[in-house]
Amino acid sequence: MRRVESPVSVKAGPSIKERLLIRFIKSRAIVGKNWRGVLAARDPFFNTKLGSDYLTSVAQAVSDRSRGNVDRIERVTIALEKAAGIKSTPIV
């Protein structure tokens, strides 16, 4: 007996990184131009050298998607969503 398999079409959507960056951009638009200052005031981590590096990394990832670590983008995005009053959704 011959087994016939049909091809499965998989529609690839945006990657986790791209979805996080979309959420980051929306949150940043709500918080405003001083989003870095808002995060630094709300979370002491972002008022450190390492925290500042996270913010810079995410800002660079917006213009160059090859940059930025997903974990850094996630941390900044979740913090920014809290500052913007947006309920964070699971990242899957």
Provide the pLDDT for residue 57: 96
Q: Please give the average pLDDT of every successive group of 10 residues along the chain, which has 92 residues.
A: 66 89 97 96 96 96 93 97 91 72
Distances from the Cα of 39 to the Cαs of 18, 33, 51, 64, 71, in angstroms? Answer: 21, 12, 10, 22, 17
Domain ranges of the chain: 16-84
What is the pLDDT at residue 35? 97
DSSP string, 30-70: HH-TTHHHHHHHH-GGGGSHHHHHHHHHHHHHHH-TTSS-H
Residue 54: the pLDDT is: 97
